[in-house]
Amino acid sequence: MENRSSSKTAANVIRVRRGEGSNRPRRDYVVTEEPLEIRLVSGGETRQLAVTMRTPGADFELAAGFLFGEGLMRSRQDIESISYCVDVEDEEQLYNVVNVKLRSALPSDLRSLDRHFVVSSACGVCGKTSIEAIERRGIAKPVGDHPVSIEIITNLSDQLRQAQRLFDVTGGLHAVGLFDSQGQMLAMREDVGRHNAMDKLVGWALMQDKLPLTNCIALVSGRASFELVQKAAVAGIAIFCAISAPSSLAVRMARRFGMTLIGFLRDDQFNLYCGEERVQIDTPSPINEPLK
């Protein structure tokens, strides 16, 4: 049973506007941010893996997506069950602790990774953050063999924005949308942390046996960071789009793994940083050639 905690929290505010003298309090809503501890369970052994600050909701998808992105599982079949921890004394579910029970023994490299850390909702996962380390995991080049039109790409941002119901109420959430090559939305997840939103989306795909996400497009509501592009690459997403700018390492990551990276996707325009073969445009020379 998934978390019943609300993803929004009521708060009294005073809305101040220049030229107006009314200072009466009113009710508003802010996005809920609470810790979620992810634990691995196997053979009677339980190990704390991470604590992330997240928006309650889709917690099981978040845990599964996080584990998949970190290379600690390869498919849904690796998971025997996912559940909230139960307090032994009170026999009540602890909705901020998730146990992921594996069918096999704990990964042999888990101890060497020493993964006892806090994951902030504002920053990426600490640990293996180099491109070389990711390459050693043997991630395949994402498949995207259907070139996408400019019209399809420029329509994605409106679809994502219209689907952000919780953002309409709180104004404080990141979102990730998943689309097929025809621009139809397949899924969308929101969270106070952009990386959590991506983990929830990948976790959804994992639990639905939809990985790898061949011929799919991802759109994030903010910037394209290295960690987000990394998670997309692991999930097999070929085209990664962002409303805001990409970082230099995100561009390097996308180029190294043969992805298409798009930034500043707003209204009827965008910047194409690599993977131009998947977009229906006329270009005289590859983007990666040296500028004259």
DSSP 3-state of 113 = helix
What does each C-alpha distance from 131 to 107, 136, 141, 288 come to in angstroms? 22, 9, 14, 18
- Confirm if 229 and 250 have CB atoms less than 8 A apart: yes
DSSP 3-state of 260 = strand
Choosing from 85, 123, 216, 241, which is the catalytic residue? 123
Per-position DSSP letters for 134-149, written without gaps between them? HHTTTPPPPP--S-B-
Let me know if 123 is a catalytic residue. yes
What does each C-alpha distance from 176 to 133, 179, 197, 224, 259 come to in angstroms? 25, 10, 6, 11, 17
Q: Which long-range contacts (CB under 8 A, 24 or more apart) does 80-85 make?
A: 84/1, 84/3, 84/59, 85/37, 85/39
Q: Which residues touch 150 (CB under 8 Å, ≥6 apart)? A: 279, 280, 281
For 24, phi then psi, to 5°, come to: -80, 135
Tally of CB atoms within 10 A around 253: 27
d(CA 132, CA 185): 32
d(CA 228, CA 187): 17
Active site residues: 123
